[in-house]
Structure 1
Amino acid sequence: MADQDAQDRNLPASPKKIERSRAEGQLPRSRDLPHFAMMVAGGAILSVGGPSVVDSLQKMLTRALHFDAQMLARPALMAERLGELTLYFIAVVGPIAAILVVVGIASNIASGGWNWTMKPLAPKFSHLNPLAGLGRMFSGHGLGQAAKAVALALVLGIIGAMVLKDRLAAYVGIMSVPLPAALAYAGQQLMGGLILLGIALALFAVIDVPMQRQLYMRRMRMTREEVKQEMKENEGNMEMKGRMRAKMREMAKRRMLAAVPSADLVVMNPTHYAVALKYDDKSMAAPKVVAKGADLLAMKIRDLAKDNKVPVLQSPVLARALYAHAQVDREIPAVLFGAVAQVLAYVYQLKQAMATRTAAPDQPDPQVPPELDPHNKPGFRPEDPANDDDFGAEAT
């Protein structure tokens, strides 16, 4: 069954599955890279600060083995001395340990990236099942890790044995020299062995880092059923977003229609576009669009305007330009100030003529720059929702 499942997983992992695996703490981690980095850091610390560390430890040992009659007469003083020596040892060794911890964390981040999650710390009772544990041990991944660990142990053991055999006589001869010289010589011999071990670990790390990434991507591979399920989930989210956008567009349409009765003028062409304008010289620097629409919505705006005795002016070019370049609840573009001013002046004159029962003024022919007419742009369609910037802004 496991082989069959592995054969079915022949599709690359999707970004969503990789993101879920990272949230669960699954990352391509190499164990050999931190080992190599910490050995290099330890060797560098010994080569640079080894003499001072050895000197500090020697002083601590000398002080620890110093006794006098006063100390023997006061047993409590022994506990104080032990506490002082412990703090001294921490002060000497603590920075080294801190550096090694930082190097270990940085090398792990370099191999798999930074990831913060608490899920791996959660108890998993399935791991207590011995049969499942045996299955993991004898799986392809488990056997591969075990073989790699055995090979690494053999290589390091052989290198260590060769170094020890080659320098055994030198280590025996150390016993005949003073302690400071013996420690210095032992440190030199130790550095030689660490260099060989570091080269071996470097070779394993160079191989293991890309191999762990490849194995991780292989484990993350998906079946066709998983890909289909993920596509269904994504489509469900898209459908939900689409319904939300449609609802927000409907709310925006209702707000626009509610503002039509308070407009000063509706500019439209006979069938396709309608734009409702409002202007108050005390609170507005320029006329503002309170509603706009195309086709059926344009007819609805026109009917509302007539029902509420809002003047409707037929100006096809100006209506198209306002529809294409103006947005609801915002002032009209500056390039259309002159044309809109003409039609507003006509409306005010018409209202005054009706109030005084004088002759109606002539209807103006506002001049609109040709480049602002959307009909001069190929591919423009009034029924295209993408042309309705206000609805799109509301939806987002």
Structure 2
Amino acid sequence: MSREAMSFVALLGGFTGIFMLLPYLVADFVHSMRALMANAGTVPMAQGGLLNSTNHAIEAGLSLAVPIAATVAVFCLAAGFLQTGFLIHPGSLLPKFERISPLAGFKRIAGGGTLPDTFKALAKFAVFAIIMWNISRNAIPTAARMVGLEPGPLLKMMSDLGFRAAAAMIGAQLVIAGADIFWMRFRHISKLKMSREDLKDEYKNTEGDPHVKGRQKALRAKAAKQRMMDAVKTSTVVVTNPTHYAVALVYERGGGGAPKIVAKGMDDVAARIREIAQDNRIPIVANPPLARALFTLPLDSEIPAEHFKVVAAIIAYVWKLKRPANRSAPLR
């Protein structure tokens, strides 16, 4: 909320009450006070006479002040609701120790957060001082003509002077309130924006810590690679480039499906696949065009139909090597 906006509507409400309601209320007030002062010497001191007169005076004063105060209150409530979007927070009415604590009050005054408010108050004071100085300077010739005037014309001249002063102050406060509303909204939006650290924390909370995710991804990749190397041990054949690519195929006789790719790699990974195949006596067949074509396919996928003929010939060759009569034949 902008305090300057609240000050503006308070001034406007007071201005409205004084110059629009006061003329209708003064007559009754003057009548009541005239009667009280005319009978002041006859008021009995005993039997509550003085108390009754005092009550009548207080009622007359309240009848003059309450409508003006109510006008100011209505203006302020309307401005508060407009600024907050009709948000009501009853918890703010609860008593809090820090509101009456001198130490907390000193911290608020000495804190850096009050410095902008201090500058605004000084600037506002300077503006109002300049306005009142100009009005007073222009009113000096008028003041000379007030000498010897009847009460009626004198009151009218003073009312006009007060009206000009109030209108000038309200106009200045309107400009100050507009600038303060803009500043408060800008500062509020700036505070709502997240800093770079806030963005990082939110990303960690929603997406996870990038370092942890990277570590988890590396662990998953390592586990997948280990599973792939374990699959080489049970593969049917390894097709190579012969050095750059290596693709391990598995085919179960009578399984009904096509041969499946269970491991693949290039360069160092291909060398490791060949090494595991040799250690486990898995046949290694060099066929560069087929190795490059199969390498582009995803793991655990069956080979496409266009490679059936070549792969079938390789698997038939592998099975022939595994016959008892060919136990002594080389596996590559």
Q: Could you tell me the TM-score, scaled by structure 1's length?
A: 0.45
Is 1:63 aligned to residue 63 of structure 2? Answer: no
Corresponding residue number in structure 1 for 2:72: 100
Determine the C-alpha separation between the residues in 2 that align with 1:35 and 1:216: 20
Question: C-alpha deviations, 1:251-270, integer Å up to 9, x for none?
Answer: xxxxxxxxxxxxxxxxxxxx
Determine the C-alpha separation between the residues in 2 that align with 1:150 and 1:185: 31
Is 1:214 aligned to residue 186 of structure 2? Answer: yes
**Per the alignment, do residues 35 and 172 of structure 1 end up closer, same or farther by CA in structure 2, a change over 3 Å counting?**
farther
Match of 2:14 among 26, 39, 42: 42
Question: C-alpha deviations, 1:218-264, integer Å up to 9, x for none?
Answer: 233334554566677789xxxxxxxxxxxxxxxxxxxxxxxxxxxxx
Determine the C-alpha separation between the residues in 2 that align with 1:224 and 1:204: 34
Question: C-alpha deviations, 1:25-63, integer Å up to 9, x for none?
Answer: xxxx11111222222233233333332233233223312
**Per the alignment, do residues 129 and 43 of structure 1 end up closer, same or farther by CA in structure 2, a change over 3 Å counting?**
closer
**Per the alignment, do residues 75 and 183 of structure 1 end up closer, same or farther by CA in structure 2, a change over 3 Å counting?**
farther
**Per the alignment, do residues 135 and 103 of structure 1 end up closer, same or farther by CA in structure 2, a change over 3 Å counting?**
closer
Corresponding residue number in structure 1 for 2:163: 191
Is 1:111 aligned to residue 80 of structure 2? Answer: no
Question: C-alpha deviations, 1:172-217, integer Å up to 9, x for none?
Answer: 6546333344333221210011111111111111111111011122
The letter of the residue matching 1:216 is H
Q: How big is the shift at 1:101? A: 0.2
Corresponding residue number in structure 1 for 2:241: none
Question: C-alpha deviations, 1:293-336, integer Å up to 9, x for none?
Answer: xxxxxxxxxxxxxxxxxxxxxxxxxxxxxxxxxxxxxxxxxxxx
Larger radius of gyration: 2
Q: How big is the shift at 1:94? A: 1.1
Match of 1:83 among 49, 55, 62: 55
Q: Could you tell me the TM-score, scaled by structure 2's length?
A: 0.53
Match of 2:96 among 98, 123, 130: 123
Corresponding residue number in structure 2 for 1:200: 172
How many residues are paired up?
207
- Over aligned residue pairs, what C-alpha RMSD do you find? 3.3
SS at match of 1:63: helix
**Per the alignment, do residues 75 and 187 of structure 1 end up closer, same or farther by CA in structure 2, a change over 3 Å counting?**
farther
Question: C-alpha deviations, 1:331-361, integer Å up to 9, x for none?
Answer: xxxxxxxxxxxxxxxxxxxxxxxxxxxxxxx
> Which range is displaced more, 94-103 or 47-56?
47-56
**Per the alignment, do residues 52 and 74 of structure 1 end up closer, same or farther by CA in structure 2, a change over 3 Å counting?**
same
The letter of the residue matching 1:157 is A
**Per the alignment, do residues 153 and 222 of structure 1 end up closer, same or farther by CA in structure 2, a change over 3 Å counting?**
same
Determine the C-alpha separation between the residues in 2 that align with 1:57 and 1:108: 32
SS at match of 1:84: helix
Q: Is the 8 A contact 1:38 1:103 kept in 2?
A: yes
Q: How big is the shift at 1:95? A: 1.6
Is 1:182 aligned to residue 154 of structure 2? Answer: yes
Is 1:145 aligned to residue 117 of structure 2? Answer: yes
**Per the alignment, do residues 202 and 135 of structure 1 end up closer, same or farther by CA in structure 2, a change over 3 Å counting?**
closer
Counterparts of 1:310-321 in structure 2, within 5 Å, are none
Q: Is the 8 A contact 2:8 2:177 kept in 1?
A: yes
Q: Is the 8 A contact 1:33 1:111 kept in 2?
A: no
The letter of the residue matching 2:50 is M
Determine the C-alpha separation between the residues in 1 that align with 2:80 and 2:87: 10
Where do 5+ consecutive residues of structure 1 fail to align? 1-28, 236-396
